[in-house]
Chain A
Amino acid sequence: MDPIFLVEAAINGILLGGVLALLALGLNLIFGVLDIVWIAYVDLVMLCMYAIYFFNVSFGWPIWAAGLVSLVLGALLGIAVHLLIISPILTSAPINQLLATGGLLFFLQSAATFLWTTDHRTVRLSLPSYEIAGIFLPATRIIPFAISILAVIALYFFLTRTYIGTAIRAVSQDREAMSLMGASPQRVYLVTSAVGGLMAGLAGALLIFQYSVHPFFGGQFGPLTFMICVLGGLGNMVGAFIASFIMSEIIAIGGVVISTEMGYVIAFVIFIVMMFVRPGGILAKRE
């Protein structure tokens, strides 16, 4: 095969990895602080994508405005999920917490099916495609990647340079000690949930560039996100970032060498192999 295709695939892998990283980091942020996995996380992304679709296609809003709606909706959804579902079960057994968010997944996917049918909805964006040295780089892939990297950097500064960001990191390291600092856990959880939701909203805005939305979108990207998080070590932000690109590269290159589907299969099989060897993730588990 012409090596140019491999290079193109490798680059596409990186471009995809950026957006996957947003998903994985958002999920990890919430888990790191609350010790609860939002199984329905990518379904929140799905809702935000529908919002973009309706605001842009049905109401005629410009795409950037619809994207902003997505961000705001994401943050609001994050807060809502925390208040309505997570808060009441904070002290319940892990299985109950898992089932609560699992139930949410069910509910969101089914409600979406009921409300909007299983039809795929696309946002029509006509964006240019660039060619560099024989490699095609469509703007629909470059722009999301650039924005996602900016978002990751912004997240980094938020977590390390702002007071509340540092507080979020502190809570994930020692929740009880943080309450002795005078921090109301509920406030920290709400901020974390809002930020996590915001990232879901942003991810939705970026994914709509390339993918159509349908009720089972969560089934497409959810397991992949979970696998990335586990691969990187659940709760480990750096690990998740790295794992995002590892998985996206395997998918992209495998996709070009064999087939799109097999690309996913190989990535998932490698994930399984990693689970045999280091279930704690490629980097150590969260301290």
Chain B
Amino acid sequence: MTRGRLLALAVLAFLLVAPFLPMGGMQQYVLHVAIQIFIWSFIGQAWSLMGRFGLVSLGHGAFLGVGAYTTTLLWNFYSLTPWIGALLAVAAAVGIAVVLGIPCFRFRVIGHYFALVTLAVGEVIRLLIVAERDWTGGSLGASLKTAGTASGLWTLQFADKRVFYYASLVLFLAGLSVWDRVDRSMARPALEAIGEDETAAASVGIRVTRFKLGITVVSAGLTALGGVLYAQYMSYVNPDTLSGIGVSLKIVFAVVLGGMYSLMGPLVGTALTTALGEALRIAFGLKFLGMADTIYGLLLIIFIIFLPAGIYGSIREAIRRRDAGSEATPHAAAR
């Protein structure tokens, strides 16, 4: 067994028993933070399935919101179990992805243009949520109706945070698995080729629209699932935390910070941004409202300019280069 495998297993074992370790009264807080990290890493991972191939979506809040609100509203109004609700949520997100993806990909809407379209869609979803306030509670959000005595697996509501901890850990690991599968599949070189030069890829027979649509659908469905679990855990949904530019950008930021092209990048980035957020909250409380995001924004800009491969990606690159010895590639024409 390789050293890397052993390390991974050790970490996994630690994660599995962590909730039962003594934490001096901090347990609820630590679990809460861990759950946040796992869920948002999962969502970030889902986003990066598109992002790494050049399909930059700034509207993943749309899928997140659709996911969260579908299960919540179906439960609140129709007492529909979140398991079926989740299926419907994923179906809805996939539906949106397909309906918008097909014309976009067929008309070669790419790059900045594509990002702008996704951004607009994300905002439309947020606006629809706010507008339909009779159903959704508008900007005030909606609380998940408590299952009371029916709490448990069927209703996906648990009094014990530890259950959510394991649930989010499982989801996170599943996300890693999907990412890994895609990475090893035939789809990956195809999508990389498409990302580099669509026309060239099409001319060698790659079904561009089909591949792009495929990865978008996977990304959308997974993101919706993340939204579902988050809604179940928080027992509360709000259009600003779950849809719109804000959350969409936050997802992207975390992934880019950690490294978009690597398996663990989203986790690293999410962990860092969560830690930063918590640290700032503890240090300043509500006194410096907006300080955390100001720093996020500044960091994001600095990172993009100086460290585009993200923290994790850059460290990996540095290690690889040190091991292999580099070969300078000549610089082609400037813009």
Q: Which residues of A contact B (CB under 8 A)?
A: 31, 35-37, 39, 85, 88-100, 102-114, 117-118, 175, 185, 215, 219, 222-223, 226-227, 229-230, 234, 261-262, 264-265, 268-269, 271-272, 275-280
Instruction: Judge whether B182 is part of the interface by a CB distance below 8 angstroms.
Output: no
* CB–CB B335/A91 < 8 A: yes
Q: How many angstroms from the CA of A90 to the CA of B100 in the assembled complex?
A: 29
Least Cβ–Cβ distance between B24 and chain A, in angstroms: 34
Taking CB atoms, residues of chain B closer than 8 Å to A113 are 289-290, 293-294
* CB–CB B120/A271 < 8 A: yes
* CB–CB B103/A261 < 8 A: no
* CB–CB B293/A110 < 8 A: yes
Taking CB atoms, residues of chain B closer than 8 Å to A104 are 297, 301
Among all A-B residue pairs, the 7 with the closest Cβ atoms: A107-B297, A113-B290, A103-B300, A106-B297, A110-B293, A223-B123, A114-B290
Taking CB atoms, residues of chain A closer than 8 Å to B56 are 94-95, 98
Taking CB atoms, residues of chain B closer than 8 Å to A234 are 112-113, 116
New contact pairs (18) apart from A106-B300, A111-B297, CB-CB < 8 Å: A37-B115, A92-B308, A94-B115, A100-B301, A102-B253, A102-B300, A103-B296, A111-B294, A113-B289, A113-B294, A117-B289, A222-B245, A226-B120, A234-B116, A261-B130, A268-B123, A272-B124, A276-B103
Taking CB atoms, residues of chain B closer than 8 Å to A99 are 252-253, 256, 300, 304
Taking CB atoms, residues of chain B closer than 8 Å to A215 are 290
* CB–CB A219/B301 < 8 A: no
* CB–CB B58/A98 < 8 A: yes
* CB–CB A268/B54 < 8 A: no
* CB–CB B301/A107 < 8 A: yes
How many residues of chain B are within 8 Å of chain A by beta carbon?
51
With A95-B56, A114-B291: A223-B304 Cβ-Cβ less than 8 Å? no
Q: How many angstroms from the CA of A108 to the CA of B124 in the assembled complex?
A: 22
Instruction: Judge whether B279 is part of the interface by a CB distance below 8 angstroms.
Output: no
With A103-B300, A223-B120, A223-B123: A89-B305 Cβ-Cβ less than 8 Å? yes
Q: How many angstroms from the CA of A103 to the CA of B100 in the assembled complex?
A: 26
Taking CB atoms, residues of chain B closer than 8 Å to A222 are 245
With A31-B112, A102-B249, A226-B120: A280-B107 Cβ-Cβ less than 8 Å? yes
Instruction: Judge whether B117 is part of the interface by a CB distance below 8 angstroms.
Output: yes
Q: How many angstroms from the CA of A271 to the CA of B301 in the assembled complex?
A: 30
Which of A94, A117, A275 makes the CB contact (< 8 A) with B117?
A: A275
Q: Which residue of A lies closest to B297 (CB)?
A: A107
Q: Which residue of B lies closest to A108 (CB)?
A: B297
